[in-house]
Structure 1
Amino acid sequence: MAATCIFCKIIKGEIPSFKLFESDKTFAFLDINPLSRGHALVIPKFHGAKLTDIPDEQLDEILPLAKRLAKAIGATDFNVLQNNGRIAHQMVDHVHFHVIPKPDEKQGLGVGWPQQPTDMAALKALFEELKPKV
């Protein structure tokens, strides 16, 4: 845990939160500036700024817990959001997943999708690197 990280301080109980769930690896609490009723954050207890900084075994509870929270709040429409880096809108340098209920058009997350042209050949070459080497 990082000494100055606000989420690490929440995990340690140094800063109060409305805790929803806690295990050895995961912590969930209500967002202090919610976009809608029930907006929650799910975070790994392992400190890392970006998703690529977190070991896989520290992430295995995240999506099942996000699913449970969405069901618990009764959200039929919702977003699960995770940002990495300032230009990607990450404000706290500790990996966190937002579970944001979308009860109507005005509440919840508003998203725009500025589409870009796709170079399929370049993408195929890029993702060839992900295939297992035999």
Structure 2
Amino acid sequence: MYNVDTPCHFCVISSTNYPSQTPSIAASPMNSAYVVLSTPTVFAVLDIAPLARGHVLLIPRAHYEKLSDMDPDQSAVLGFWLPIVSRGVMAG
């Protein structure tokens, strides 16, 4: 269960790395996270403890305790970006 007294690391990254005007997959270091995608609704960062080369986390900007808490529209947005980020990682 999420402790409301402890800030969510992903929410902190989201609030300190504002979305770009034109989404792109050009990796650039920003603050403490290596953001590889930034849109108004989702962002993607390189994992700090990667399981494999190019391990990327695709994260909604809205906070959800569980993936099942997401509404279908938000899930569709993640589904849209997932193959794009994957192709970017594979190409890089």
TM-score (norm 2): 0.69
Structure 2 distance, partners of 1:59, 1:27, is 13
Which structure: greater helix fraction? 2
Structure with max Cα Rg = 1
Among candidates 51, 63, 66, match of residue 82 of structure 2: 66
Among candidates 38, 48, 54, match of residue 64 of structure 2: 48
Structure 1 distance, partners of 2:74, 2:86, is 21
User: Where does structure 2 lack aligned partners over 5 or more consecutive residues?
Assistant: 18-30
Structure 2 distance, partners of 1:44, 1:37, is 22
Q: In the alignment, is the contact (CA less than 8 A) between 1:11 and 1:45 conserved in 2?
A: yes
Offset, 1:73: 2.0
What is the root-mean-square deviation in Å for CA atoms of aligned residues?
A: 2.1
Identity of aligned pairs, percent?
31
Q: In the alignment, is the contact (CA less than 8 A) between 1:30 and 1:39 conserved in 2?
A: yes
Among candidates 22, 33, 42, match of residue 26 of structure 1: 42
Offset, 1:63: 2.0
User: Where does structure 1 lack aligned partners over 5 or more consecutive residues?
Assistant: 76-134
- In the TM superposition, structure 1's runs of 4+ consecutive aligned residues that sit over 4 Å from their partners are none
